[in-house]
Every structure is written in structure tokens, then in C-alpha cells.
């Protein structure tokens, strides 16, 4: 199978750069699978895991928003933040998940629901990328 370079970059650092045979990412229009020689495109990304399918298996990377640019021989993800599984503090993510769920269920008038939903989505993405079950 043909391959290409997957590069994930944040404002602080290059998080990931490896060869992949397929990339699965969640764009605002839905989940997309990208193979080598895909038509060029640019799309905004949701907070979700990005799956890099490689010759020797799959890798999940937690990506918290940003954009994906697809070129013939390269996919570049410019993310607000991104984390590899070994960088994720699972206990912290579980605590953040619980806090966000509690905020959302509290029905407070002054609660910023969008912010709480984003916090919950980030926590769930971190947990999924870490490989731990909820």
C-alpha cells in the first residue's frame, strides 16, 4: 500500500511526523479517511482523536481542534494542541471529565455550557487516545 507523511504541529512544537498508509480524522463535516494521492483539501477539525494507520498497526493522537491540509504526498495537521498517548495523564483527564459532567448536569444559569462541553470533549479525547477505557 502507498504511504505518505503525516505531520501534526502545534504552535509550541512538532508533535508527530511519521509515514502512514491512512489517516482518519474528524472534520466539521464528519469523519474522513485519507489515503496516499488523495485530492488536495483543507478542512477544519473537531476535537477528536486522529488515527494514523501504519504498516505495523495504528496510533491514536489526541488533537484539540485546528486544520488539516491534505497534499499528494503529505497530510499536515495544524492543531491548537495535540498529545501523544504517552504524554497523557489519564487520571487528570478522568478528573476533568467528571468536573465537566458535573458542571453540565448542574443546570446553573451562569454556566458557560459551550466551555463545559469543550472541556468534556477534550477529556474524552485524551482518554480515548491513551487507550484506556472509560
Cell of 132: 484506556
Query: 95: which DSSP letter?
Result: H
Q: What is the pLDDT of residues 71-115, one digit of tens each?
A: 989 999 999 999 999 999 999 999 999 999 988 887 777 777 888
For residue 134, pLDDT over 70 is answered with no
Q: What is the pLDDT of residues 36-46, one digit of tens each?
A: 999 999 999 99
Show the domains of the chain with their CATH numbers.
4-85 (2.60.15.10), 89-130 (1.20.5.440)
Q: What is the pLDDT of residue 94?
A: 94
Q: What is the pLDDT of residue 133?
A: 63
Q: Name the percent of the chain in helix, strand, coil, to the closest 5.
A: 30, 45, 25
Q: What is the pLDDT of residue 105?
A: 86
Please give the backbone phi and psi of residue 34, each rounded to the nearest 5 degrees, phi first.
Answer: -115, 125
Cβ(85)–Cβ(129) below 8 Å: yes
Nearest CA-CA partner of 79 in 6, 5, 7, 8: 8
Amino acid at each position: 500500500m502507498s504511504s505518505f507523511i503525516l505531520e501534526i504541529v502545534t504552535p509550541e512544537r512538532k508533535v508527530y511526523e511519521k509515514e502512514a498508509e491512512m489517516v482518519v480524522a474528524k472534520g466539521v463535516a464528519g469523519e474522513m479517511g485519507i489515503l496516499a494521492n488523495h485530492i488536495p483539501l483543507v478542512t477544519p477539525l473537531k476535537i477528536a482523536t486522529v488515527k494514523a494507520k501504519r504498516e505495523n498497526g495504528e496510533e491514536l493522537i489526541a488533537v484539540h481542534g485546528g486544520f488539516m491540509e491534505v497534499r499528494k504526498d503529505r497530510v499536515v495537521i495544524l492543531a491548537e494542541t495535540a498529545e501523544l498517548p504517552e504524554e497523557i495523564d489519564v487520571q487528570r483527564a478522568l478528573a476533568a471529565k467528571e468536573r465537566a459532567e458535573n458542571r453540565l448536569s448542574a443546570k446553573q444559569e451562569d454556566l458557560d455550557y459551550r466551555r463545559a462541553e469543550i472541556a468534556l470533549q477534550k477529556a474524552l479525547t485524551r482518554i480515548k487516545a491513551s487507550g484506556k477505557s472509560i
